[in-house]
Amino acid sequence: MTILAVTRERRDGETRVAATADAVKRLIALGLTVRIEAGAGLTAAVVDADYAAAGAEVTADLAATLSGADILIKVRGPSPEEIAALPAAAIVVGLLNPHLERAELDALAARGVTAYAMEFVPRITRAQVMDALSSQANLAGYRAVIEASQAYGRAMPMMMTAAGTIAPAKVFVMGAGVAGLQAIATARRLGAVVSATDVRPAAKEQVESLGAKFVAVEDEEFKAAETAAGYAKPMSAEYQAKQAALVTEHIKKQDIVITTALIPGRAAPRLVSEDQVASMKAGSVIVDLAVEQGGNVAGARSDETVLVASGVKIVGIANMPGRIAADASALYARNLIAFVGLLVDKEGALIAAPDDEILTAARVTQGGAVSHPSLQSA
């Protein structure tokens, strides 16, 4: 019988877990034997007793969990300790950050492991249930507004009292992908006046449908600024200059700015300069959701809140979904269940040479080498 293992996340600050108790039941229903390392779910509000009640075997340590394991599912890539303990022919599935963590991929390949990066799941209809980037970005966008509200220290909605009226907060969201749209919706629910920008033409209608104002230079380059897969294209220096001028005038009037812009395989684009930060009012807040990939905001630092001389706070939280570990784990586990279902047959046995297009797109190591085309020249 195929053994699926879930180990404790060993990255500093990672509070999520790859399987919840409900996920264990679903994985067992696929015909798998599920092993959980003791304490794996504690930071995501899942105790060992919950796993055991769901039918998992709770193991005492890492070695016992991985002994003879066929599949290891992870939130983040496995640690060196985990890689060393993996059976040579095992399968690893997780958010492997393949463009930025090449050393870890090389180690997996050297171990003979077949690894799948959930970041590379293709954007096709059949794979929507496996789209971990979207499930986690949705929660990140929500939580970014909550973190911004806490750091702001003022009320978000308009309040009319006998003592006077409190004006609503002005929130500007930069990047209207999954995280950005959820940030817009959350800020609107909290009563803020919201505006947003994005280089993708399709974003305008989405932003306006949520009741926010769209801010962008809408020229010919803007109209062609989206890939077939739905990602933003890198923009020309000329366009960036025009957009920066527009944003500069807009940003100085904002109370809260949330940046969400990422380009797969590249460092995060710089959206907010030091001068733009300095132009904002004292007490304003910027939350940089791209800080883990270099940041959209000048001066942002990973897992720090920076108070600049002008009185503006720059909040850089590297693992925003980890701030909502229980829900983030539940959604991510469902992504993994659907993905793992492609690796096994109806009886739960591993498929010898899986050729599903989703697996092919997500496979990053195989046969002792880093195999994904986009990583071949790295």
Instruction: Indicate whether 333 pLDDT > 90.
Output: yes
Closest-CA residue to 82 (of 135, 22, 11): 11
Q: What is the pLDDT of residues 181-228, one digit of tens each?
A: 999 999 999 999 999 998 888 899 999 999 999 998 888 888 777 766
Instruction: Indicate whether 230 pLDDT > 80.
Output: no
pLDDT classification of 127: cutoffs 50, 70, 90: very high
Instruction: Indicate whether 32 pLDDT > 60.
Output: yes
Instruction: Indicate whether 311 pLDDT > 90.
Output: yes
What is the pTM for the complete model shown? 0.92
Domains and CATH numbers, the chain: 3-131+324-367 (3.40.50.720), 138-323 (3.40.50.720)
Quote the pLDDT of residue 12: 92
Catalytic, out of 67, 154, 189, 231? 231
Instruction: Indicate whether 136 pLDDT > 70.
Output: yes
Q: What distance in Å separates the CA atoms of residue 124 and residue 67, rounded to the nearest whole number?
A: 35
Helices (H), the chain: 21-29, 48-54, 62-66, 80-85, 102-111, 132-152, 178-189, 202-209, 220-223, 237-251, 274-279, 325-340, 357-362
- Is 149 tagged catalytic? no
In terms of DSSP bridges, do strands 256-259 and 213-214 run parallel, antiparallel, or are they unpaired?
unpaired
Task: Take residue 227 and report the two structure tokens written for it.
Answer: 């890939």
Long-range contacts of 24-30 (CB under 8 A, 24+ apart): 24/51, 24/54, 24/55, 24/56, 25/54, 25/55, 26/337, 27/337, 27/340, 28/54, 28/55, 28/56, 30/337, 30/340, 30/341, 30/344, 30/348
Catalytic, out of 16, 51, 70, 131? 131
- Is 236 tagged catalytic? no
| C-beta separation of 94 from 26 below 8 A | no
Q: What is the pLDDT of residues 84-111, one digit of tens each?
A: 999 999 999 999 999 989 999 999 999 9
Q: Is 257 helix (H, G, I), strand (E, B) or coil?
A: strand
- Is 134 tagged catalytic? yes
Catalytic, out of 11, 48, 50, 134? 134
pLDDT classification of 243: cutoffs 50, 70, 90: confident
Q: What distance in Å separates the CA atoms of residue 254 and residue 67, rounded to the nearest whole number?
A: 55
Catalytic, out of 67, 126, 128, 275? 128
Sheet holding 213-214, edge to edge: 213-214, 193-197, 170-174, 256-259, 285-288, 313-316, 304-307
Indicate the average pLDDT of the chain.
94
Quote the pLDDT of residue 199: 81
Catalytic, out of 123, 188, 301, 363? 123
